[in-house]
A and B are shown apart, each in its own frame.
Chain A
Amino acid sequence: LAKTTQPISMDSYEGQEVNITCSHNNIATNDYITWYQQFPSQGPRFIIQGYKTKVTNEVASLFIPADRKSSTLSLPRVSLSDTAVYYCLVGDIYYEDSNYQLIWGAGTKLIIKP
């Protein structure tokens, strides 16, 4: 199963756009890329998922280059409440036990400053 590499931590300021890049060199053909967000004292929460090119929802955008060996989570105009740990995961979502197989790293701790 593909492992991912992300920066351990990042700082930014309110109102800025934040981009968190994840490396997944061994991504398989059937793997999707999924990002979760975890606030202190809460469980992780699904943010966005994609396979290739660009995906956008009300919370974030996900950019995936053609080789799919990396992906970038983009958070537009962050606020203090976006301070959280962000996890990047890859796996075949159509494989029945895909969630069991997921490897969770330490994530990226994003701190937003006033």
Chain B
Amino acid sequence: GAGVSQSPSNKVTEKGKDVELRCDPISGHTALYWYRQSLGQGLEFLIYFQGNSAPDKSGLPSDRFSAERTGGSVSTLTIQRTQQEDSAVYLCASSPEGLSYNEQFFGPGTRLTVL
């Protein structure tokens, strides 16, 4: 079956603009995660969804970042008034349950460049 897909694969934007990043999880997966990865580094947790609700938003770096999930499926991560330090690869992952030791299936990521 299809894996996790993300769009766009690359996004170049100007400082101050808003961007929306999309994640399509694996069908039937109830848990969805967003991470941020700076160049060649480990992953920084941003937010976790269980169904349409987000019980853990602790990783969002500022109020410019928000995310929503509708229909228990597609999720969008929105960054308002982008800054150069927002440049990174944004990864989405899904899991069949919200249990932390379950395997997380990752998408290929969206590379965001803020000029």
Partners in one complex: no
